[in-house]
């Protein structure tokens, strides 16, 4: 039996019970704020060329070095954080929410629609995620919207399954039968009982998916199939990094560190949220 969703453990409760997660949350807020404040924080214009200073190693003037056009890597990373985070948030939110809605509908309707959706989900899960994402991006073309759609579609399957399962579980509850017995209309049952039961899994899904979205976007950028220049997402910055690592290894190192740190924090946070909202899963 899952815990009724009406118990909401507030931020203070969260911080007390999941200290690691709280720290991760703080780090992430820091990164988010830094990215939003990038016009102020960045020492240079991320798009400004300085050809006399190509491929500079980390120095006082350029703490993370410069790239092939002399652009400051640190400034570009700050701006890139904004794009990468925006991309990942949008894709995750889009994918998980649409998946949740579909999951709810199928759980409620049961019948041929349910079976069809389940079959499609099964088929999709038979294909490795990145391969599927590559297909879509290859089809839509490398662009900001293309990447968001591709990543979002990749998240649909898991979201549909999880929310559907949660909705189904609630549906079997005695009190739902009771509600129906006393004549409560379907939509009220949905809103009052089933929906709230799905909130916790929904939040968990989002928090554990964002990290994967960031890594996926970076992989696409590396392959040249992601967002196109001059937009500096973290993945895009790494695009030509391998070709030129002899000239300047630093251009490859820093964006990767930024990605790893951020995803690490998200994963910590995701684990903490999951432990917090569904203690039955603790220990995984």
Partner 1 sequence: MKRYLLVGAAIGLSLAALSCQAPTPPPSESIGADTSVAGPTAPDKVKRGGILRGTWSGTLAHLDLHQVGTLGTWNAGNLMYNGLIEWDAFDKTQQRIVPGLAKSWEASPDGSRFTFRLQDGVKFHDGASLTGDDVVFTLKRIADPPRGTSSARKDQFQMVDKIESPDPQTVVVTTKFPSANLVNLLADGWHVIVPKHVVERDANALKQGGIGTGPYTFKELVPNQKFVAARNPAYFRQGHPYLEGIELYRFGEETTAIAALVTNQLDMVNPAGQGISGQGARDVKARNAAMVVESNPRLAIDIWRYNVTRPPLDDLRVRQAMNLAINREEYVKFLQDSEGPVGTVVFPGSVWDLPKAEQEKLIGYEPNYDQRLQRAKQLLAEAGLAGGFTVTLMATTTNFEDNAQALEAMLGRINIKIKRDPLQQEEARQREAESLFDVYAGGYGIATIDPVGVVGDHFVCGSGRNTSKFCDPELDRLYQEQLKVLDQKERAKVVHEMIKRAINGASMNIINWNNEYHARWPYVRDFVVTPSRYTLASKLEYVWLDK
Partner 2 sequence: MHRYLTKRLLLSIPTIFGLTVLIFFTLRVLPGDVALTILGEDTQVDHQRLLEIRRELGLDQPIYVQYGQWMWSILRLDPGRSFGSDYPIAKRLAAAIPITFNLAVYALILTLIVAIPLGAVSAVHQDSWVDYASRAAALVGLSTPGFWVGIMVIMFLAFYVGWMPQLQLVSFFEDPWKNFTQLFWPALVIAIAQTAVITRMTRSTLLEVLREDYVRTARAKGLRERVVIVRHALKNAMLPVITLIGLEFAGLMNGAVITETVFAVPGLGSTLIQGINAKDFPLIQATVLFIGLIVVLVNLLVDLSYAWLDPRIKYR
- DSSP string of the chain, one letter each residue: -PPPTT----HHHHHHH-HHHHHHHHHHHHHHHHHHTHHHH-SS-TT---GGGTTPPS-SSSTT-B-TT--BHHHHHHHHHHHHHHHHHHHHHHHHHHHHHHHHHHHHH-HHHHHHHHHHHHHHHTS-HHHHHHHHHHHH-SSHHHHHHHHHHHHHHHHHHHHHHHHHHHHTSHHHHHHHHTT--HHHHIIIIIHHHHHHHHHHHHHHHHHHHHHHHHHHHHHT-SSPTTS--HHHHTTTTTTTTTT-THHHHHHHHHHHHHHHHHHHHHHHHHHHH-GGGTT-
Report, in Å, the least distance between residue 173 CB and partner 1: 56
230 binds, among partner 2, partner 1, none (CB under 5 to 8 A by kind): partner 1
Report, in Å, the least distance between residue 59 CB and partner 2: 20
246 binds partner 1 (CB under 8 A): yes
Contact range with partner 1 by CB under 8 A, out of 25-33, 111-119, 173-181, 241-249 = 241-249
Contact range with partner 2 by CB under 8 A, out of 37-45, 171-179, 184-192, 213-221 = 213-221
Report, in Å, the least distance between residue 267 CB and partner 2: 5
Report, in Å, the least distance between residue 193 CB and partner 1: 52
Binding mask 26-65 for partner 1 (x = CB under 8 A): -----------------------x-x--------------
Q: How many residues bind partner 2 (CB under 8 A)?
A: 48
């Amino acid at each position: 039996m899952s815990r009724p969703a009406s118990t909401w453990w507030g931020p203070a409760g969260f911080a007390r019970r999941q200290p690691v997660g709280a720290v991760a949350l703080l780090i992430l807020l820091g990164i988010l704020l830094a990215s939003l404040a990038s016009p102020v924080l960045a020492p240079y214009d991320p798009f400004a060329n300085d050809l006399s200073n190509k491929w500079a190693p980390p120095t006082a003037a350029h703490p993370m070095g410069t790239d092939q056009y002399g652009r400051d890597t640190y400034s570009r990373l700050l701006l890139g954080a904004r794009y990468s985070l925006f991309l990942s948030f949008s894709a995750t939110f889009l994918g998980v929410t649409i998946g949740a809605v579909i999951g709810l509908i199928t759980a409620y309707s049961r019948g041929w629609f349910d079976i069809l959706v389940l079959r499609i989900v099964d088929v999709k899960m038979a294909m490795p995620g990145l391969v599927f994402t590559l297909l879509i991006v290859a089809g839509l073309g490398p662009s900001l919207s293309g990447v968001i759609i591709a990543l979002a579609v990749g998240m649909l399957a898991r979201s549909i399954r999880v929310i559907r399962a949660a909705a189904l579980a609630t549906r079997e509850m005695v009190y739902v039968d009771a509600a129906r017995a006393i004549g409560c209309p379907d939509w009220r049952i949905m809103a009052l009982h089933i929906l709230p039961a799905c909130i916790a899994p929904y939040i968990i899904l989002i928090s554990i998916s964002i990290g994967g979205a960031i890594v996926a976007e970076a992989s696409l950028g590396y392959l040249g199939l992601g967002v196109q220049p001059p937009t500096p997402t973290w993945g895009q910055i790494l695009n030509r990094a391998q070709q030129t690592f002899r000239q300047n290894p630093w251009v490859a190192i820093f964006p990767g560190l930024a990605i790893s740190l951020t995803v690490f924090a998200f994963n910590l946070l995701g684990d903490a949220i999951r432990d917090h909202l569904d203690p039955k899963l603790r220990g995984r």
